[in-house]
């Protein structure tokens, strides 16, 4: 897919000129407090706690080391349940658990669409995010990109959105449809060196393109609050597992992008006003076998699968990698409930929990009749092709956030941060409380910011 510039109208060039020349589009005051929140997808705490055990040399991640030495560091950040990308990112900017903020999974519970949709749309949020609060206060907001951002409260937006199966639009088409201001992406295609083909939306190239957009938006518009999501390390860990050379490469790549952000803030003389926060949404665990739960349920007639799609169900799995949520069409149907319990009890590959057994750390998904936690080495994908049990090695997440390798970490540097502070632990919701405090936003959360401020 290529960009189509023959539709370039007077309006398009007007928009580009406005962005380029700086007229009429919002800009943060150069001495206003600002926060850059970088989420490195799948950033594992264990890599920093014990680099040698995970294939890293002393000098492999110099920019993370610089953040730790010149700023503050939380060794382990516990994420939410399910430990999935969209729920975790939303907790990071709301201070609430998924059941409260409404993003309970990467994908909404739509079995009749075979779960092919994602929570792309900000309309799904049940509580305001920091971006909403910032915009209400007249601050300038940016996402380059951020999950659950389409139609969200952003002055500058590269949305996270991809086509569902059967959509005729490409990822680039969708991004261009929802970017803000309109034609932001065309601007970069024309002036920013953005590669205008499908390679632009995958792997390293996607992160390189997003990095260019982040840098341009930040340096020209000085947003007060920017969310910036680096994605490739998660892709690499899913594909290869935790300790593969490609994963090491992906972390070194993320480190170099962060170094470039540090250099940009330095070049713009923005450190007195800017706090840079670098964290992750979850870690990763390795697996050797996939368990396709809807295929198993279909073997007992509880799900009907035709042509690779779900077209009927009495009990269905909403799979989340390291966990799965089983829902009954009729929760009062004790016969179906007993059959499901019978199918899933005493399996070597899972622990079956009922909602009444759920410890507080596993609250998050709003309504499930059964909750499955994958045992070590197993993974629950959403695939619908038989057989139900398939050898497949790689990495994943989604499961119990108390698992050590699912923990992430957090670095903060710059304005208001006490240099050299090291904390043992925090929770993803506390990151939101930290940013609310830095920008004086009225966030309603019980989470407290990690204690590393340089003044009381
Ligand atoms: Zn993620």
Same domain, 259 and 234: yes
Compute the mean pLDDT over every residue in the chain, rounded to the nearest whole number.
Answer: 92
pTM of the model: 0.94
Check: CB of residue 405 under 8 Å from CB of residue 322.
Answer: no
- CATH of residue 47: 3.40.720.10
Angle (nearest 5°) at CA 294 between 293 and 297: 90
Whether 53 is covered by a domain: the verdict is yes
At residue 2, the pLDDT reads 32
pLDDT exceeds 60 at position 8: no
Same domain, 416 and 269: yes
Check: CB of residue 371 under 8 Å from CB of residue 353.
Answer: yes
At residue 200, the pLDDT reads 73
320 alpha carbon to ligand 1 midpoint, in Å?
12
Whether 6 is covered by a domain: the verdict is no
Label residue 367 exposed, middle or buried (CB < 10 Å: 0-12, 13-18, 19+). Answer: exposed
At residue 189, the pLDDT reads 64
Residue 428: count other Cβ atoms within 10 Å of its Cβ. 29
Cα dist from 141 to 28, 89, 223, 264, 361, whole Å: 9, 16, 5, 18, 32
233 alpha carbon to ligand 1 midpoint, in Å?
9
172 alpha carbon to ligand 1 midpoint, in Å?
21
405 alpha carbon to ligand 1 midpoint, in Å?
14
Write out the two tokens for 396. 């994943």
Same domain, 324 and 191: no
Q: State the Cα–Cα distance between residues 209 and 393, nearest whole angstrom.
A: 30
Whether 8 is covered by a domain: the verdict is no
Same domain, 386 and 414: no
At residue 18, the pLDDT reads 52
Write out the two tokens for 304. 């009907």
Same domain, 95 and 194: yes
> Does the CA dihedral 396-400-402-408 come out positive or negative?
positive
303 alpha carbon to ligand 1 midpoint, in Å?
28
Angle (nearest 5°) at CA 138 between 134 and 144: 55
Q: What is the mean pLDDT of residues 58-63?
A: 93
- Per-residue pLDDT of 365-380, as tens digits, reads 878 999 999 999 999 9
At residue 193, the pLDDT reads 61
At residue 16, the pLDDT reads 54
At 182, the pLDDT band (50, 70, 90 cuts) reads confident
26 alpha carbon to ligand 1 midpoint, in Å?
30
Whether 10 is covered by a domain: the verdict is no
- Per-residue pLDDT of 198-247, as tens digits, reads 667 788 889 998 999 999 999 999 999 999 999 999 999 999 999 999 99
Whether 181 is covered by a domain: the verdict is yes
Cα dist from 352 to 285, 291, 313, whole Å: 19, 14, 20
At residue 172, the pLDDT reads 84
At residue 7, the pLDDT reads 40
Same domain, 294 and 342: yes
96 alpha carbon to ligand 1 midpoint, in Å?
17
274 alpha carbon to ligand 1 midpoint, in Å?
25
90 alpha carbon to ligand 1 midpoint, in Å?
11
Same domain, 314 and 421: no
107 alpha carbon to ligand 1 midpoint, in Å?
13
- CATH of residue 306: 3.30.1360
Whether 446 is covered by a domain: the verdict is no
Same domain, 191 and 304: no
At 74, the pLDDT band (50, 70, 90 cuts) reads very high
42 alpha carbon to ligand 1 midpoint, in Å?
5
- Domain of 391 in residue numbering reads as 287-395
Domain count, the chain: 2
Whether 188 is covered by a domain: the verdict is yes
Same domain, 383 and 407: no
Write out the two tokens for 62. 């110099």
What residues form DSSP beta bridges with 411? 73, 278
Same domain, 152 and 199: yes
- The sheet carrying 377-379 orders its strands as 377-379, 285-291, 389-396
At 9, the pLDDT band (50, 70, 90 cuts) reads very low
Same domain, 87 and 204: yes
Whether 17 is covered by a domain: the verdict is no
Write out the two tokens for 197. 């083909």
171 alpha carbon to ligand 1 midpoint, in Å?
19
pLDDT exceeds 90 at position 453: no
147 alpha carbon to ligand 1 midpoint, in Å?
10
Same domain, 195 and 300: no
First to last CA, the chain: 53
User: Which of 174-183, 253-262, 389-398 shows the lowest per-residue confidence on average (mean pLDDT)?
Assistant: 174-183
85 alpha carbon to ligand 1 midpoint, in Å?
4
């Amino acid at each position: 897919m290529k960009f189509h510039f023959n539709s370039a109208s007077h309006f398009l060039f007007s928009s580009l000129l406005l962005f380029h020349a700086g007229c009429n589009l919002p800009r943060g005051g150069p001495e206003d407090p600002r926060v850059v929140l970088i989420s490195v997808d799948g950033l594992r705490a264990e890599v920093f706690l014990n680099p040698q055990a995970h294939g890293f040399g002393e000098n492999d991640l110099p920019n993370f080391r610089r953040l730790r030495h010149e700023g503050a560091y939380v060794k382990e950040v516990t994420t939410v349940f399910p430990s999935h990308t969209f729920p975790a990112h939303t907790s990071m900017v709301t201070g609430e658990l998924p059941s409260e903020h409404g993003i309970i999974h990467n994908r909404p519970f739509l079995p009749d669409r075979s779960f092919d949709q994602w929570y792309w749309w900000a309309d799904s949020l049940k509580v305001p995010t920091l971006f909403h609060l910032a915009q209400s206060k007249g601050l300038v907001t940016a996402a380059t990109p951020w999950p659950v951002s389409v139609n969200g409260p952003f002055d500058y937006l590269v949305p996270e959105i991809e086509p569902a199966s059967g959509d005729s639009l490409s990822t680039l088409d969708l991004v261009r449809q929802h970017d803000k201001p309109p034609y932001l992406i065309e601007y970069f295609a024309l002036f920013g060196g953005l590669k205008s083909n499908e390679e632009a939306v995958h792997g390293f190239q996607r992160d390189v393109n997003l990095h260019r957009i982040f840098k341009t938006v930040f340096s020209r518009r000085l947003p007060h609050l920017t969310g910036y999501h680096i994605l490739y390390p998660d892709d690499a860990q899913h594909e290869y597992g935790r300790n593969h050379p490609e994963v090491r490469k992906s972390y070194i790549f993320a480190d170099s992008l962060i170094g470039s952000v540090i250099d940009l803030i330095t070049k713009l003389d923005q450190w007195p006003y800017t706090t840079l926060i670098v964290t992750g949404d979850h870690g990763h665990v390795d697996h050797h076998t996939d368990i396709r739960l809807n295929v198993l349920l279909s073997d007992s007639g509880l799900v009907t699968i035709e042509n690779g799609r779900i077209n009927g169900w009495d009990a269905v799995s909403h799979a989340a990698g390291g966990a799965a949520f089983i829902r009954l069409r009729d929760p009062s149907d004790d016969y179906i409930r007993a059959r499901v319990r019978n199918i899933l009890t005493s399996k070597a590959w899972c622990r079956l929990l009922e909602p009444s057994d759920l410890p507080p750390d596993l609250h998050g998904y709003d309504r499930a009749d059964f909750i499955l936690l994958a045992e070590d080495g197993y993974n629950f994908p959403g695939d619908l092709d038989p057989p139900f049990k398939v050898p497949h090695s790689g990495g994943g997440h989604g499961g119990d956030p108390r698992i050590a390798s699912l923990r992430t970490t957090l670095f903060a540097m710059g304005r208001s941060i006490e240099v050299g502070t090291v904390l043992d632990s925090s929770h993803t919701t506390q990151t939101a409380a930290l940013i609310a405090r830095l920008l004086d936003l009225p966030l309603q959360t019980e989470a407290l910011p990690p204690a590393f401020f340089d003044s009381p």
